[in-house]
Amino acid sequence: MIFFQIFYKQQGMVGLFSDSWPTELLTRCIGIAILFLIYKLVNHNAHVRESPHTNAFDGCSSVNCIRCNGRIQDDNIKVIVDELNKENHSGLERVNRWYRGLGSKGDHKRQPTVMFFPDIISNPGIKHDQFFDDVQKLQCNSDTILAEYKKICDSMTESNGWKTNSTPQGRWNVFYLINQGFEIKMNSKQCPKTMAILQQLDNLMDDCCFGNACFSVVYPNTTISEHYGPCNIRARCHLGLVIPSGFILNVDDIQLRWREGKCLIFDDSYLHRVVHNVEDGESDHNLKRVVFMVDLWHNDLSEIEINALTKLFPASHCDL
């Protein structure tokens, strides 16, 4: 108390905190101020989650991966936006709002690593009826897709087109047919029927750097760390091919489960992870979880917006 009196007298602030102030009142004021600062600090940290690409166990080995790097290299965004507005007199309101708020990290639930498009209405799990035709095409051809997977699964090495993603535990392999909007021809030639099915999808996110299609294989007792996707303009579809017991997809603390021959669609801009725990006595403890993963344009986007976003985020080479 004496310290505060001396300090404020030296600063010429005697009138503010003088001997006439009751000691108890001054102490309470200081205490309230400290508690307010603590509250603001805690409240801020509660809304800030660790950026996914700072975790060593949630990414891939590619130096050009957009999600893992958390950025895209494009210095022409302003030019593209100006050209789009000249071509279209309406329908680009959200694109322009995104551009004016460039750098927005999302809301308290969705925190994509690269871009957050405004006012996309979504949920962790997305209903099939939003993509009815595409879901039917995938599910009706699940046997064909599974048969082509079986032809390429014997040797999951890089020389055979497979990539290995980092995980804190276990193993996770992917075989891309489309990666960041580009067709991986070395791989697609090995799965011509699956590639033909992909090209029939109405909402396939091709020619855009956020679009992928691949076989995703997770080994038993594997954990894929919680992470966010790069954007909120896509719907990620998993067609279940081989689904042993014990595998769980957790999206925004909601448990979703795959089924063989069925599609599961979710918004990967929410925090999500995959876990598998083998229990004693399980007969399929050596089986891998296999899904065919396809990125679709989000159902809350208009055709004009999809065209604009394709120009703003064109396909990007990844070092496969």
Q: What is the pLDDT of residues 248-258, one digit of tens each?
A: 999 999 999 99
Across 22-26, 67-71, 287-291, least confident range: 67-71
* 3-class SS letters over 109-156: CECCCCCCCCCCCCCCECCHHHHHHHHHHHHHCHHHHHHHHHHHCCCC
Higher model confidence: residue 117 or residue 285? Answer: 117
> What pLDDT score was predicted for residue 80?
93
pTM for this one? 0.78
- The 8-class DSSP code of residue 202 comes to T
Position 92 confidence tier, pLDDT thresholds 50, 70, 90: very high
Across 6-20, 54-68, 175-189, least confident range: 6-20
* Percent of the chain whose pLDDT exceeds 90: 60
Query: Which of 102, 72, 116 lies closest to 314, judged by CA?
Result: 72
Given a cut of 60, whether residue 304 has pLDDT beyond it is yes
Assign a CATH topology to domain 128-312: Jelly Rolls (2.60.120)
Position 274 confidence tier, pLDDT thresholds 50, 70, 90: very high
Average pLDDT over residues 59-74: 61
Most confident of 3-17, 125-139, 244-258: 125-139
Higher model confidence: residue 63 or residue 275? Answer: 275
Average pLDDT over residues 86-111: 87
> What pLDDT score was predicted for residue 123?
96
> What pLDDT score was predicted for residue 318?
59
> What pLDDT score was predicted for residue 66?
66
Position 45 confidence tier, pLDDT thresholds 50, 70, 90: very low
> What pLDDT score was predicted for residue 216?
97
Average pLDDT, the chain: 83
> What pLDDT score was predicted for residue 107?
84
Average pLDDT over residues 113-126: 94
> What pLDDT score was predicted for residue 76?
83
The residues spanned by each domain of the chain are: 2-46, 128-312
Given a cut of 80, whether residue 109 has pLDDT beyond it is yes
> What pLDDT score was predicted for residue 85?
94
How does pLDDT run across 172-197, given as a tens digit for each residue? 999 999 999 999 999 999 999 999 99
Q: What are the distances in angstroms from CA 169 to CA 69, 137, 236, 290, 295?
A: 22, 34, 23, 17, 26
Positions of E strands within the chain: 162-165, 172-179, 182-183, 213-218, 223-227, 234-242, 247-251, 254-256, 263-266, 272-276, 289-297
The whole-angstrom separation of Cα 67 and Cα 72 is 9
How does pLDDT run across 228-252, given as a tens digit for each residue? 999 999 999 999 999 998 889 999 9
